[in-house]
Structure 1
Amino acid sequence: MTTSFDALGVAPDLAGVLSAQGKTHAFAIQELTIADALAGRDVCGKAKTGSGKTLAFGLPVLQTVKTAEPCRPRAIILVPTRELATQVKEELEPIGAVRDITVAAIYGGADIEKQIKKLKAGVEVIAATPGRMIDLIDRKELDLTDVGIVVLDEADRMADMGFMPQVEWILRHIPGDHQTLLFSATLDGVVQGLIDRYQTDPVRHEVESEGVTVASMTQRFLRVHQMDKVKVAAAISRSGTKTLMFTRTKRMADKLVDQLNEQGVKAAAIHGDLRQSQREKSLADFMAGKLSVLVATDVAARGIHVDDIDIVIHFDPPEDHKAYLHRSGRTARAGQGGLVVTLLLWDQELEVKRLQKRLGEDQPMPEVFSNNPILQDLTNWVPVEKV
């Protein structure tokens, strides 16, 4: 039985906004951490992307912050990517609005003057990437004196992306007493170092997530022909509302978007060669349902946090089982199910067999053509050698 937000100590006005959004009961990570965070404890939460951790730290932040002076935020949320900064802001802003709490996303690659103007108007909560935050501190446009809560979100990814020196620089420059909430998919190595140095007697909470996403995914492996491959992918995407497709290269991502559009499927790409504004627009259109397909490369996918992706298609098979799990984990999030389809050409069969072995999967890889009706409902179809 899940717990209601009221029961966890979330204030009635904030719980009311959640209720209006259709959120009445907490996810596991929220259930474990909210009460401790509200009590002012330092919290260490082990949870994967998509587990609902934004509200796990966001609600205690919104409930406890006071009104901010110009350029002196009350809470900072450090995140690894611009996309995540934007997403945290979009999730928390409507809830904070009920108390006139302002939330801003601060990241590089966007107009710094606009961000400074926002800070000067007074912002209670900022979700920021470390580099841009240091820029603003150096320019004396951001003062950390009043910060009472610090959140480190996806600490392991910040470490992977080489941001630890910047993160530690920021943490060392927060002068007053403050509460620190840390969330990460792993709590060892560098992340453990952060916990030891910057948290005081933290309470640890862990959501058992090993294999959960794979268990709630339906996985299919289909042999296709080069000339028919795009049509197969288009047919599968039509059976869902939001499909994420993965290619190995940026060039292939762009090419696939053009080919899908020719098939009447609305698609856009997200990869490192695109301008930040283009990436944000594609992601926003995808989240809003204006696009049914988003085509991504592995690196770009790290910034994608969309809850209701129902299909993931590995248009190009992933490099290894880790990449497969990372890509596939974009569906079957927050307790939902999801369909994951790997398309392979005749010369990729051995490679995909090896992948299956690492995943503990043993499925037939039937040859399928784009006119086959099974593509309209792969979830309920039972894979057989020949179709």
Structure 2
Amino acid sequence: MTEFTTQPLPPELQQALEVLEYRQMTPVQAASLPPILAGRDVIAQARTGSGKTAAFGLGLLSKLQPDAGQVQALVMCPTRELADQVGKEIRRLARFMPNIKVSVFCGGVPLRPHLASLVHPPHVVVGTPGRLQELIDQGALSLAQLRVVVLDEADRMLDMGFEPAIAGILSQAPKDRQTLLFSATFPEEIRALGRRYQREPEEHTVADGAVAAIVQRFYEVESPRKTDALALLLADEKPDSALVFCNTRRDVQQVADDLAQRGFSVLALHGDLEQRDRDEVLVCFGNRSVQVLVATDVAARGLDIKDLPLVVSHGLASDVDTHTHRIGRTGRAGGEGLALSLVASDERRRVIGIEEQLGQAVRWERIDLSRRPARPAPPAMTTLVVDAGRQDKLRPGDLVGALTGAAGLPATAIGKIDGFATRTYVAIERSQANKALEKLKAGKIKGRSFRIRKLG
């Protein structure tokens, strides 16, 4: 990897990179960041987890005029999960830039709060095309001062039928804007999108060596026995966390219920969940208080779990690109990962496309379904919920202070803290969770009493 070059960046962004310990650029950052900073349009192919968010995040933040209270940068994403992740990363990079406001607007939640928040326009907007188009149609979101547009995971947005919304949004943007397009695949539809909306873009196809760090194994298992095989593989591998993909919402819930009956710590993620339930599922999986997440492909985009060791396809993906996105959840940013696929006889033909993409035969292994899996150990962490958040001026440091102070917990017992507008989630070592709950209930945080409970 190339050493991270901070010279062209404003001092506030250089400081953020130092604090966040960005030492070296990933291949996509090394290829795309220089032309982005130079103001060029860019079209780049790179897999999820390759560091592209930091590349376009640094680029758009470097173009902002903080004193101008208008939307100056717009990032379009295919899913709520990816939009939330991108918004969080841009906020992290902008931590030393005073008064920069980043807002995330996605469907699935009421429109009214989004309309109200746009009374004071943010500098950066991240969202899904459908909701962004709604806000423009309502006259709430103005793109008149837009400087940079990013289409993130553009191939997925086209697959989801967002092209009309994208066209409507870009028709409202200034012609002299900078347009950045990132995609995991480069079909002709993506190239046509670039030709239509970009001005002489620099094109970069990044051969990401991280893919080689993912070991893939395939098992031929008929559908009625797939969950038996899944339980055995999870028990054998003993991962701290594992992401299991199913092709339908019904299968997701069924597999999650079956694993729970076998003693696994498991949650389900699919499109029928309310937003708050989705948030809590992702929080618990991300902070290691749940070991197994069973999901539809809605989680294949935007789910960024560091050091995820294992991905399993309970049902083989219907196309090669979806399979690639699934296994891309593990082995991120050059790390090692393991991807297992359970293949029924009527799914064997789908493996041909995977082999063509790999340029070699896949690795088939056998599994003894007569064995009984060992009962899994519980997760290392437990999640506590504080019914207060950013609106109550409750910061992660306040919670850490209460836990290590009056509650008497060692700092090493405190895991990831996730803050939302009206609630805060904190992961605590399982052996310390009851003590932490009792002490927090009996005491105060910042001199105030809040409702605190254990999640799940």
Q: TM-score range by the shorter chain?
A: 0.7 to 0.9
CA contact (8 A) 2:105 2:125 kept: yes
Instruction: Give the AA of the match of 1:6.
Output: T
- Give a deviation string over 1:15-68, Cα, whole Å, max 9, x none: 332332332211111111112111111122121222111111000111221126
Q: State the 1:81 CA deviation.
A: 1.4
Choose which of 93, 96, 114 in structure 2 pairs with 1:95.
Answer: 93
CA contact (8 A) 1:247 1:316 kept: yes
Percent identity over the alignment?
36
**2: CA distance, partners of 1:135 / 1:226:** 42
Specify every segment of 5 or more residues in structure 2 that has no aligned partner in the other structure, as ranges. 356-360, 378-456
Instruction: Give the AA of the match of 2:364.
Output: Q
Q: Does 1:365 align with 2:363?
A: no
**1: CA distance, partners of 2:181 / 2:348:** 37
Instruction: Give the AA of the match of 2:155.
Output: D
Choose which of 346, 349, 355 in structure 1 pairs with 2:351.
Answer: 355
Residue 140 of structure 1: aligned partner:
139
Q: State the 1:299 CA deviation.
A: 4.5
Counting matched residue pairs gives 367
**In the superposition, relative to structure 1, how do residues 109 and 226 fare at CA in structure 2: closer, same or farther (>3 Å)?**
closer
TM norm structure 1: 0.84
**2: CA distance, partners of 1:301 / 1:105:** 19
Instruction: Give the AA of the match of 2:75.
Output: I
Residue 339 of structure 2: aligned partner:
340
**In the superposition, relative to structure 1, how do residues 370 and 44 fare at CA in structure 2: closer, same or farther (>3 Å)?**
same
Residue 382 of structure 1: aligned partner:
none
Residue 220 of structure 1: aligned partner:
217
* Equivalent residues in 2 for 1:66-105, closer than 5 Å: 66-67=65-66, 72-100=70-98, 101-105=100-104
**1: CA distance, partners of 2:136 / 2:227:** 54
Say which SS state the counterpart of residue 177 (structure 1) adopts: coil
**2: CA distance, partners of 1:317 / 1:40:** 41
CA contact (8 A) 1:268 1:291 kept: yes
Q: State the 1:208 CA deviation.
A: 1.7
Say which SS state the counterpart of residue 6 (structure 1) adopts: coil
- Give a deviation string over 1:165-223, Cα, whole Å, max 9, x none: 111111111136321111112344232222222222222222024xx555322223456
**1: CA distance, partners of 2:96 / 2:265:** 36
**2: CA distance, partners of 1:213 / 1:56:** 17
* Equivalent residues in 2 for 1:108-257, closer than 5 Å: 108-175=107-174, 177-209=176-208, 212=209, 215-222=212-219, 228-229=228-229, 231-236=231-236, 239-257=238-256
Q: State the 1:115 CA deviation.
A: 1.7
CA contact (8 A) 1:223 1:367 kept: no
**2: CA distance, partners of 1:227 / 1:285:** 22
Say which SS state the counterpart of residue 291 (structure 1) adopts: coil
Residue 265 of structure 1: aligned partner:
264
**2: CA distance, partners of 1:321 / 1:365:** 23
**In the superposition, relative to structure 1, how do residues 143 and 69 fare at CA in structure 2: closer, same or farther (>3 Å)?**
farther
222-231 vs 54-63, which moves further: 222-231
Residue 6 of structure 2: aligned partner:
6
CA contact (8 A) 1:233 1:313 kept: no
Residue 39 of structure 2: aligned partner:
40
Say which SS state the counterpart of residue 332 (structure 2) adopts: coil
Q: State the 1:105 CA deviation.
A: 0.8
Residue 21 of structure 2: aligned partner:
22
**1: CA distance, partners of 2:370 / 2:17:** 45
**2: CA distance, partners of 1:114 / 1:49:** 30
CA contact (8 A) 1:248 1:298 kept: yes
Instruction: Give the AA of the match of 2:73.
Output: A
* Equivalent residues in 2 for 1:296-311, closer than 5 Å: 296-311=295-310
CA contact (8 A) 2:229 2:369 kept: no
TM norm structure 2: 0.73
